[in-house]
């Protein structure tokens, strides 16, 4: 896992910082990472006081049923596992942006790795509308 995290961490962290630097808008202030078996997305909310992260729960029919071991791994990352009404969610404060966003990058990558089986050989898709013109995609 260390190689996976170190390979992608700075890119995700820098992307979150660049989104955070944009003025608040109604849409588009999010970063989503998708691997074959699931995705994690984080959205800045409440004038950047908090960030809402979601891990795919299969509520919206993404790929296939999540295994019990994947559910356990996602729960260990602190997500609310009640997926009856949508994705698994975790709400985090943004107290110190540098520290908070560093931790969010870890959360996103660890969830992809532990919960959805992403590895160095996996294709990781990135969606971040505010960064599209900055060559991030």
Residue 22 located in a structural domain: yes
Residue 129 located in a structural domain: no
User: Distance (Å, rounded) from C-alpha 43 to C-alpha 132?
Assistant: 16
Residue 134 located in a structural domain: no
pLDDT value for 59: 74
Q: Taking Cα atoms as reference points, which of 115, 118, 131 lies closest to residue 55?
A: 115
Q: Taking Cα atoms as reference points, which of 94, 100, 122, 116 lies closest to residue 40?
A: 116
Residue 132 located in a structural domain: no
Check which CATH number belongs to the domain holding 109 and give it: 3.30.1460
Which residues span the domain enclosing 95? 2-124
Positions of the chain with pLDDT lower than 70, given as ranges: 60-64, 133-137
Residue 137 located in a structural domain: no
Residue 136 located in a structural domain: no
pTM of the full structure: 0.91
């Amino acid at each position: 896992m260390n190689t996976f995290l170190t390979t992608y961490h700075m890119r995700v962290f820098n992307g979150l910082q660049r989104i955070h630097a944009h003025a608040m808008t109604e849409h588009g202030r999010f970063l989503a990472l998708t691997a074959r078996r699931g995705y994690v997305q984080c959205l800045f909310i409440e004038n950047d006081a908090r960030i809402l992260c979601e891990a795919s729960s299969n509520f919206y029919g993404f790929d296939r049923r999540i295994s019990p071991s994947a559910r356990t791994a996602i729960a260990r990352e602190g997500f609310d596992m009640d997926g009856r009404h949508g994705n698994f969610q975790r709400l985090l404060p943004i107290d110190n942006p540098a520290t908070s966003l560093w931790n969010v990058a870890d959360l996103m990558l660890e969830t992809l790795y532990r919960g959805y089986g992403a590895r160095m050989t996996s294709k990781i898709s990135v969606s971040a509308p505010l960064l599209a013109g900055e060559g991030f995609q």
